[in-house]
């Protein structure tokens, strides 16, 4: 395929900016809904307000965990689409499928905040996050196998690092679900650890000469 034909083929595909703008809007709504779940009854005395704030601790914990996880997904999505110069119909639909479980994060956070010590709530939360991670990996794998959608071809090591970052959180989510019954607090800590480990790993990869170039494409 000549450069002229390849350029014409790319032009017939969609502009990734519309997909990015739509996804940014969805993530903004997700984060807004998360904070709207937190509220206290009106007209409380100082003592009652203190008690109400104490009772909000599980909801605040669920909000912090969910905010950071949502932020992790948004940063990953931004970094991926910064490498994409054109999208086809499959990418649009795979992106929508990724948004499906991601949009359920506020629901999972609400259940977790209301029932922080109930294993079923922790399992439901983990199921939402696993579904989002699987959809995230499928989208990434699809794009990486189609270099014509990218601004520039990526090395095998670059693709492996990106794939690992997309799929690795599932192992921690599964562990969090396993320990939910004997140790619900540990389960919540494991969920919180995922975005912290993610950004810590990115920082480590950027500090190593052998992976610095590849890690620059991931936030």
Q: Number of structural domains, the chain? A: 1
In the predicted model, is pLDDT for residue 200 greater than 70?
A: yes
In a domain, 117, yes or no: yes
212 touches 206 (CB < 8 A): yes
Q: Per-residue pLDDT averaged across 81-106, rounded?
A: 96
Q: Per-residue pLDDT averaged across 15-32, rounded?
A: 95
Phi, psi of 84 (to 5 degrees): -100, 130
In a domain, 5, yes or no: no
Degrees, nearest 5: CA angle 199-187-96: 60
pLDDT of residue 142: 96
Closest CA to 58 of 131, 149, 122, 133: 122
End-to-end, the C-alpha distance of the chain in Å comes to 34
In a domain, 170, yes or no: yes
Give the domain extent around 93.
Answer: 18-37+45-215
In a domain, 11, yes or no: no
Give the predicted TM-score (pTM) of the model: 0.88
What is the overall mean pLDDT for the chain?
88
123-139 per-position pLDDT tens digit: 999 999 999 999 999 99
Q: Per-residue pLDDT averaged across 86-99, rounded?
A: 97
In a domain, 12, yes or no: no
In a domain, 10, yes or no: no
Using a CB cutoff of 8 Å and minimum separation of 24, what contacts does 56-64 make? Answer: 58/112, 58/113, 58/114, 58/116, 59/113, 59/114, 60/113, 61/113, 61/116, 61/188, 62/109, 62/110, 62/112, 62/113, 62/116, 63/34, 63/35, 63/37, 63/38, 63/109, 63/113, 64/192
pLDDT of residue 54: 76
Residues 6 or more apart from 205 whose CB is under 8 A from it? 161, 211, 212, 214, 215, 218
In the predicted model, is pLDDT for residue 183 greater than 60?
A: yes
User: Which one-letter DSSP state was computed for residue 148?
Assistant: G
3-state secondary structure of 150: strand
**Dist. CA 180–CA 159, nearest whole Å:** 33
pLDDT of residue 12: 57
In a domain, 25, yes or no: yes
Band of pLDDT at residue 207, cut at 50, 70 and 90: confident
**Dist. CA 138–CA 183, nearest whole Å:** 32
pLDDT of residue 51: 75
pLDDT of residue 165: 87
155-182 per-position pLDDT tens digit: 888 888 888 888 999 999 999 999 999 9
Residue 43: left if φ>0, alpha if ψ -120 to 50, beta else—which one? left
In a domain, 147, yes or no: yes
Q: Which residue has the higher pLDDT, 206 or 72?
A: 72
Q: Per-residue pLDDT averaged across 193-214, rounded?
A: 86
Closest CA to 130 of 98, 159, 161, 162: 98
146-156 per-position pLDDT tens digit: 999 999 888 88
């Amino acid at each position: 395929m000549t450069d002229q034909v390849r350029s014409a083929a790319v032009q017939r595909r969609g502009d990734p900016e519309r997909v990015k703008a739509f996804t940014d809007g969805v993530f903004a709504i997700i984060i807004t809904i998360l904070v709207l779940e937190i509220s206290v009854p009106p007209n409380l005395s100082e003592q009652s307000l203190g008690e109400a704030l104490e009772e909000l601790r599980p909801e605040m914990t669920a909000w912090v965990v969910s905010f950071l996880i949502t932020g992790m997904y948004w940063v990953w999505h931004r970094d991926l689409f910064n490498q994409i110069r054109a999208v086809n119909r499959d990418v649009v639909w795979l992106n929508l499928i990724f948004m499906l479980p991601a949009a359920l994060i506020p629901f999972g956070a609400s259940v977790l905040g209301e029932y922080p010590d109930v294993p079923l709530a922790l399992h439901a939360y983990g199921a939402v996050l696993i579904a989002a991670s699987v959809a995230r990996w499928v989208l990434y794998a699809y794009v990486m196998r189609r270099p014509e959608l990218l601004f520039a071809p990526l090395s095998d090591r670059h693709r492996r690092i990106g794939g690992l970052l997309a799929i690795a959180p599932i192992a921690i989510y599964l562990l969090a679900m396993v320990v939910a019954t004997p140790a619900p607090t540990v389960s919540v800590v494991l969920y919180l650890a995922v975005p912290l480990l993610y950004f810590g790993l990115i920082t480590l990869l950027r500090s190593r000469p052998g992976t610095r170039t590849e890690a620059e494409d991931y936030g």
